[in-house]
Chain A
Amino acid sequence: MNRRVVITGAAAITPIGRTEDRIMDNLLGGVSGVRPIRSDDLLARQVHCGVFGTVDEEIEYDFPRRNRKTMGPVSFYACQVATEALAQSGLTEDVLTSGRVGVAYGSTHGSPTVQRDLYLILGREGGLRRIGATDYLKSMVHTTAVNITRLFGITGRVISSGTACTTSAQAIGFGYEAIRFGRQEAMVCGGADEYDTTTVAVFDSLLACSTRWNDRPESTPRPFDVQRDGLVVGEGASALVLEELEHARRRGAQILAEVIGFGCSNNGGDMILPNAAGVRRTLLMGIEDARLSPDDVDLVSAHATATPMGDVVEARAIADVYGGSTPVLALKGYMGHTMGACGGIETVLLLHMMKRGVVTRSLNLDEVDPRCAMVNHVTQVAEMDLRVVSVQNFAFGGVNTCLMYRRFD
């Protein structure tokens, strides 16, 4: 069985907005969502990085108490984008509760805000007694996925990837495969991560964070730029409704794009250092899975976190696979690295650009690092006929993903 899979709903919460119009205005206007880090009583003053990709608009949630009580901040994000994407898809309650629809959704580590509170509680006298009945449900690694299933009564399979920066890319890929190979008719896929300074501390301690632009947050991160000095942690969420093509056609659903390939692999070695061979192999897997050649791809969305070595290795791998002419776009300059949410958010942004036939530029790429100059960076906003696009992401632990999408004409 090898069925075609299409996207019938898409939504995102990002540091540069939620609606298509606002996101596109900010992308085309070169507006960054990176802000000074908020003060807190734990780590904000200790970390060297002073910036964060921040969602600063108020979101009005409309979830009943029975659902809210098991949601940490990350699940509020996840359930909101799932609600919006499902509304766009038009899938009805009888389908969602039929067992033929599942959820593939994750986050980097559940809800760190709730986990932080738990650690503080456990350090106190009588700490065990103070743990709330819902604290685990709010903070467990699959909290986003099962809060979505509960909100909509979804009874199909649950896949909750928790592979840091490839979390949502894997969720989309595994959801795609669940439909493609006939196990489900539709899947709600994506990832979310909430505002949290412990994540900053993790990367800060590994010397991977940007620290030289604290007084100019909008100027960092700087993917592929000669002055880049590391990543910027961000927050956000995205959800895609994937659906089997004929299922979508029969009910007259609006089709946003087709998922045509997924490559996924592990470097099988170092947990942190980027690996050109692993990246290259994964990009080729994605292209082969889509039954295309590299020349068929109109735009590559790079992972490009703006670490000094990661960007060089990625640029080399892209050049090895695509040569030097395929346009390469780095979106993290606008939002920072939204961690487990990034592959899904980058997909939603590409869907908007694909629909409008326009590509934004890689923000903060003022002077291309000569070591990254072997590919065709998008440095100016340009009209572009986007038929096939690729989204690539990589994570600690040596996990690599490559998602392939085609415009649905």
Chain B
Amino acid sequence: MSRQTIHELLLDVFKTRFEIDNPGLDENLRETYDFDSIDAIELLSELETFLGRELTQDEKKQAMDIRTLRDIEEYVLRMQQT
């Protein structure tokens, strides 16, 4: 998937799953939208659907430092290559 495709998929997930409309690329999701650790776990299951594979426990733990939409895009790009 291209970065643009990932971006569009994520915007759709944020809107439908988390009721967050068009978050800015570098906005802190926790501070701005109450996106917390529970949401992060829910998001990972959505990312597994994008990627078409299960993430390992180690890969999931890497996602716990994510703070922005840009971080998520880069995480997905990285997971695509592994």
Bound pair: A and B? yes
**Interface, chain A (partner B; CB < 8 A):** 64-66, 69-70, 129, 132-134, 137
A390 to B38, CA, bound (A): 44
A137 to B37, CA, bound (A): 13
Query: Is there an interface contact between B45 and A134, defined as CB atoms closer than 8 Å?
Result: no
Indicate if B34 sits at the interface (CB-CB under 8 A): yes
Kindly provide the distance from the CB of B42 to the nearest chain A CB, expressed in whole angstroms: 5
Query: Is there an interface contact between A134 and B38, defined as CB atoms closer than 8 Å?
Result: yes
Kindly provide the distance from the CB of B82 to the nearest chain A CB, expressed in whole angstroms: 18
Query: Is there an interface contact between A66 and B34, defined as CB atoms closer than 8 Å?
Result: yes
Indicate if B18 sits at the interface (CB-CB under 8 A): yes
Q: A65-B34, A137-B38 given. 19 additional CB < 8 A pairs?
A: A64-B34, A65-B18, A65-B19, A66-B34, A66-B36, A69-B38, A69-B39, A70-B38, A129-B45, A129-B48, A129-B54, A132-B42, A132-B45, A133-B38, A133-B39, A133-B41, A133-B42, A134-B38, A134-B42
In this complex, what residue of A is CB-closest to B44? A133
A145 to B3, CA, bound (A): 43
Kindly provide the distance from the CB of B20 to the nearest chain A CB, expressed in whole angstroms: 9
Selected A-B contacts with CB under 8 Å, 21 pairs? A64-B34, A65-B18, A65-B19, A65-B34, A66-B34, A66-B36, A69-B38, A69-B39, A70-B38, A129-B45, A129-B48, A129-B54, A132-B42, A132-B45, A133-B38, A133-B39, A133-B41, A133-B42, A134-B38, A134-B42, A137-B38
The interface on chain B, measured as residues whose beta carbon lies within 8 A of the other chain's beta carbons, has a size of 11
Kindly provide the distance from the CB of A69 to the nearest chain B CB, expressed in whole angstroms: 7
Please indicate which of the listed interface residues A69, A70, A137 has the most CB atoms of chain B within 10 Å of its own CB: A69
The 5 closest A-B pairs by CB, nearest first: A133-B41, A66-B34, A133-B38, A65-B19, A133-B42
Kindly provide the distance from the CB of B73 to the nearest chain A CB, expressed in whole angstroms: 21
Per DSSP, chain B at the interface is: helix
In this complex, what residue of A is CB-closest to B42? A133
- Which residues in window 1-44 of B have CB below 8 A to A? 18-19, 34, 36, 38-39, 41-42
A129 to B36, CA, bound (A): 20
Residues from chain A with a CB closer than 8 A to the CB of B36 are 66
Residues from chain B with a CB closer than 8 A to the CB of A65 are 18-19, 34
Residues from chain A with a CB closer than 8 A to the CB of B34 are 64-66
In this complex, what residue of B is CB-closest to A130? B45
Kindly provide the distance from the CB of B50 to the nearest chain A CB, expressed in whole angstroms: 15
- Which residues in window 37-80 of B have CB below 8 A to A? 38-39, 41-42, 45, 48, 54
Residues from chain B with a CB closer than 8 A to the CB of A137 are 38
Residues from chain A with a CB closer than 8 A to the CB of B18 are 65
Residues from chain B with a CB closer than 8 A to the CB of A132 are 42, 45
In this complex, what residue of B is CB-closest to A65? B19
Kindly provide the distance from the CB of A238 to the nearest chain B CB, expressed in whole angstroms: 28
Please indicate which of the listed interface residues A64, A132, A133, A134 has the most CB atoms of chain B within 10 Å of its own CB: A133
A209 to B3, CA, bound (A): 59
A70 to B45, CA, bound (A): 17
A343 to B45, CA, bound (A): 41
In this complex, what residue of B is CB-closest to A64? B34
In this complex, what residue of A is CB-closest to B40? A133
Kindly provide the distance from the CB of A131 to the nearest chain B CB, expressed in whole angstroms: 9
In this complex, what residue of B is CB-closest to A69? B38
A133 to B42, CA, bound (A): 6
Kindly provide the distance from the CB of A75 to the nearest chain B CB, expressed in whole angstroms: 15
A66 to B39, CA, bound (A): 9
In this complex, what residue of A is CB-closest to B43? A133
Residues from chain A with a CB closer than 8 A to the CB of B45 are 129, 132
Kindly provide the distance from the CB of A83 to the nearest chain B CB, expressed in whole angstroms: 19
A137 to B36, CA, bound (A): 14
A134 to B36, CA, bound (A): 12
A69 to B39, CA, bound (A): 9
Residues from chain A with a CB closer than 8 A to the CB of B48 are 129
